[in-house]
Amino acid sequence: MTKTEPIVQRLALIGTGLIGGSIARAARASGAARTIVATARSPETRKRIKELGFADQVTETNSEAVKDADLVIVSIPVGASGAVAKDIGPHLKQGAILSDVGSVKGSVVRDMGPYVPKGVHFIPAHPVAGTENSGPDAGFAELFVNRWCILTPVEGTDPAATEKLSAFWSALGANVETMTADHHDLVLAVTSHLPHLIAYTIVGTADELGDVTQSEVLKFSAGGFRDFTRIAASDPTMWRDVFLHNKEAVLEMLGTFNEDLSKLTRAIRRGDGDALFDHFSRTRAIRRGIVQIGQDSPAPDFGRPHPTLPDAPVPKPYASDDS
Amino acid sequence: MTKTEPIVQRLALIGTGLIGGSIARAARASGAARTIVATARSPETRKRIKELGFADQVTETNSEAVKDADLVIVSIPVGASGAVAKDIGPHLKQGAILSDVGSVKGSVVRDMGPYVPKGVHFIPAHPVAGTENSGPDAGFAELFVNRWCILTPVEGTDPAATEKLSAFWSALGANVETMTADHHDLVLAVTSHLPHLIAYTIVGTADELGDVTQSEVLKFSAGGFRDFTRIAASDPTMWRDVFLHNKEAVLEMLGTFNEDLSKLTRAIRRGDGDALFDHFSRTRAIRRGIVQIGQDSPAPDFGRPHPTLPDAPVPKPYASDDS
């Protein structure tokens, strides 16, 4: 991908945490936006954004930031979407695109939709990408490369506006797919919300045991547990809002998960090794599929760094024939 | 760590998959063993071990391999431990140390113990390290560096033998801790077995949904799901045996996990945002603890590689003051 012509003249970012801050950096690195305006209420955050240098302007109020912007992206916990839409609605430019990055889309449509003025294109979006870190320092320009961004335009949306938003995300390195908000919420309940809930649960479980100390849990976490702690270190406010706003889909998926867990539990209790082996062989294939389509690293252990044995010689190839 | 004097004159390895093959490579790289003998029943595996060059000798039978060895390490699924002990018992040298690497220790003590001749030091062990790969090609010399190896010597074990095995694992880069087999099985049920069971469950759940296609699960797996697929890609035979042999501790931990999951489910159903926020904030601290003691990488996303935006310029620092 080479540096693109600006797709957006003036990009306004409300929320400059991991996602908003990464959009700013990626938009600048790719040239997808000519001017980037960021907004932050607290003087500390405004100062930090200026130091990090990922915006051309930093404003104190949302209304000032969105004025004259042709693309406004709201990157905040979904529970605050409605209030922000109410705040900025009257200040949006005719013909502007209003979008977001929330992990739930049905509630965003319901909460923001009523405040979107006629003549403004409202296209909810969700880039499926992230790390366990949060805040303006956490973002980086490469976050969206080869990840998927899902657009959920409501019925009657101008196709040209959807095309423009799609081109913007493509310039940031993302693959773009379009679906309904309801289907998005069901898909993400499986691929993101349920995994987070399970990880949050098991990490909490390990923290509260009588017979095993926390120090033991930490020391011996390389047996598998540590993988879950990364996800369970995600932003608490963001995730509280996800579960409150995608309740039905999450509870539905939880039901299926619980049935499956009961099945495996029964196999363990009964000593049914064949059932366990069959299940464990099937899940192995799913990992291969994810690596094959480039959605995870083929390197063992996610490519985690392994310290070396200092001064260790390179193993010599087998030479003799004395076996 | 510099190259050490040989701690072991003749190391016999029964099983040369991820763990056995890594022990061989690490023992050679560190100089901890003067001669390394590996054994494999199939001609294909023997040929592959020779090509990989991590052993000095490759034998067809276990009895031939353990003859004259002063340290024998059995690295096979725990369900096969008893049969192997029965096979090699009569051929073990007086004064030799017999050890293993199984993820369950109580059953190994019960299954192998009866076949250990008087004068042989039987010290079960478990290096808490691994990747999702298996087979002789999967091993590498650095696997145990800064990981913990747990020794579970039975009562009456010669302290000098325990000390020698501990020195061997230290030479491979591991930290060594000693505990009872029963406590080991409880600790690992939390830090390893339960996480694997949960990961196997959720990956299976996602594979069987009516409303969400498998292609969607794979594409949008970067929302969290893909982390679970790595663990659920672990060796099915090894893990079947773990659950069959650590049944009680796993079922006990599953009980606690289910209670905690019910609590969070209820908070979601009732819309209790405070309960969710409190739980999610608490688990974040556990991640920090694991990173602080060096049991995981501090890099975001496990240090997963992120492709770059080609031709992207380095972002210029914020210069103007026009906000």
Residues 146-205 on A with a CB inside 8 Å of B are 146-148, 150, 172-173, 177, 183, 186-188, 190-205
Around Cβ B320, how many Cβ atoms within 10 Å?
A: 8
> CA of B11, closest CA in chain A: separation in Å?
14
At residue A51's C-alpha, the angle toward residues A50 and A52, to 5°, is: 90
Average pLDDT, chain B: 93
> Do A195 and A237 fall into the same domain?
yes
Distances (CA, A) of B253 to A26, A263, B117, B193, B225: 44, 16, 36, 9, 22
CATH number at residue A151: 3.40.50.720
Residues paired with B57 in a beta bridge: B37
> Do B107 and B202 fall into the same domain?
no
Q: Name chain B contacts of A132, Cβ cutoff 8 Å.
A: 287, 300-301
Q: Between helices B247-270 and B236-245, what is the axis angle to 10°? A: 100
Residues 224-283 on A with a CB inside 8 Å of B are 224-234, 236-237, 239-241, 243-244, 247, 250-251, 253-254, 256-258, 260-261, 264-265, 267-269, 271, 273, 276-277, 279-283
Q: What is the pLDDT of residue A306?
A: 80
Q: How far apart are CA A296 and CA B229, in angstroms?
A: 10
Q: Which of A50, A128, A229 has its CB closest to that of B223?
A: A128
Q: Tell if the CB–CB gap between B254 and A265 is shorter than 8 Å.
A: yes
CATH number at residue A205: 1.10.3660.10
How is A177-238 classified by DSSP, letter by letter?
EE--HHHHHHHHIIIIIHHHHHHHHHHHHHTT-SSS-HHHHHHTGGGTHHHHHHHTTS-HHH
Q: Tell if the CB–CB gap between A191 and B316 is shorter than 8 Å.
A: no
Name all contacts of B56-61 with Cβ < 8 Å and 24+ positions apart. Answer: B56/A320, B56/A322, B57/A322, B57/A323, B58/A323, B59/A323
> Do A86 and A219 fall into the same domain?
no
Around Cβ A42, how many Cβ atoms within 10 Å?
A: 9
Q: Which of A225, A286, A310 has its CB closest to that of B191?
A: A225
Tokens describing residue B235: 């060796």
> CA of B166, closest CA in chain A: separation in Å?
17
Residues paired with B185 in a beta bridge: none
Q: What is the pLDDT of residue A313?
A: 42
- DSSP code at position A104: -
Q: Tell if the CB–CB gap between A200 and B322 is shorter than 8 Å.
A: no
What's at A298, amino acid-wise?
P
Q: What is the pLDDT of residue A149?
A: 98
> Do B19 and B42 fall into the same domain?
yes
Q: What is the pTM of this model?
A: 0.92
Q: Who's near B257: CB < 8 A, 6+ residues apart?
A: A201, A202, A205, B194, B198
Residues 59-98 on A with a CB inside 8 Å of B are 59, 79
B41 touching chain A per CB within 8 A: no
Last residue of a domain, one of A179, A210, A238: A179
Last residue of a domain, one of B179, B196, B223: B179
Q: How far apart are CA A193 and CA B206, in angstroms?
A: 12
| Nearest chain B residue (CA) to A229 | B287
Does B245 fall in a domain? Answer: yes
Q: Tell if the CB–CB gap between B221 and A150 is shorter than 8 Å.
A: no
Looking at the predicted complex, does its ipTM rise above 0.90? yes
Instruction: Write phi, then psi, for A306 (nearest 5 degrees).
Output: -115, 125
Say which residue the tokens 């087998």 belong to. Answer: A318
- A264: three-class secondary structure by DSSP: helix
Q: What's the structural domain count of chain A?
A: 2
Residues B236 and A236 sit within 8 Å (Cβ to Cβ): no
Does B310 fall in a domain? Answer: no
Does A199 fall in a domain? Answer: yes
Give the pLDDT band of residue B2 (cuts 50, 70, 90).
Answer: low
Q: Name chain A contacts of B268, Cβ cutoff 8 Å.
A: 197, 243-244, 247, 250-251
Q: Who's near B255: CB < 8 A, 6+ residues apart?
A: none
Q: Tell if the CB–CB gap between A311 and B1 is shorter than 8 Å.
A: yes
Sort A21 into a burial class: Cβ within 10 Å, 0-12 / 13-18 / 19+.
buried
Residues B223-282: tens digit of each pLDDT:
999 999 999 999 999 999 999 999 999 999 999 999 999 999 999 999 999 999 999 999
Q: What is the pLDDT of residue A320?
A: 37
Handedness of CA B72, B73, B75, B78 (dihedral sign): positive
> Do B22 and B169 fall into the same domain?
yes
Of residues A153, A201, A200, the one with CA closest to residue A180: A153
Of residues B25, B31, B39, B29, the one with CA closest to residue B140: B25
Residue of A58, A184, A229, A241 best to disrupt the B interface, most CBs of B under 10 A: A229
Residues paired with A39 in a beta bridge: A14, A59
Q: What is the pLDDT of residue B187?
A: 97
Does A18 fall in a domain? Answer: yes
Q: Tell if the CB–CB gap between A190 and B217 is shorter than 8 Å.
A: yes
Of residues A260, A230, A129, the one with CA closest to residue B231: A230
Q: Tell if the CB–CB gap between A315 and B54 is shorter than 8 Å.
A: yes
B316 touching chain A per CB within 8 A: yes
> Do B275 and B134 fall into the same domain?
no
Share of chain B above pLDDT 70, in %: 94
Q: Which of A30, A194, A230 has its CB closest to that of B312?
A: A30
Q: Tell if the CB–CB gap between B303 and A302 is shorter than 8 Å.
A: yes
> Do A157 and A214 fall into the same domain?
no
> Do A170 and A194 fall into the same domain?
no
How is B134-152 classified by DSSP, letter by letter?
-STTS--TTTTTT-EEEE-
Does B202 fall in a domain? Answer: yes
Where chain A has pLDDT below 50, the residues are 1, 311-323
Does B115 fall in a domain? Answer: yes
Instruction: Write phi, then psi, for B245 (nearest 5 degrees).
Output: -105, -10
Q: What is the pLDDT of residue A323?
A: 33
Last residue of a domain, one of B121, B151, B179: B179
> Do A59 and A163 fall into the same domain?
yes
Does B111 fall in a domain? Answer: yes
Does A69 fall in a domain? Answer: yes
> Do B210 and B122 fall into the same domain?
no
> Do B145 and B193 fall into the same domain?
no
Residues 94-123 on B with a CB inside 8 Å of A are 103
Q: What is the pLDDT of residue A5?
A: 86
Q: Which domain holds residue A49?
A: 8-179
pLDDT over threshold 80, residue B42: yes
> Do A97 and A43 fall into the same domain?
yes
Of residues B186, B185, B146, B202, the one with CA closest to residue B169: B146
Residues B102-150: tens digit of each pLDDT:
999 999 999 999 999 999 999 999 999 999 999 999 999 999 999 999 9
Q: Tell if the CB–CB gap between B305 and A310 is shorter than 8 Å.
A: no
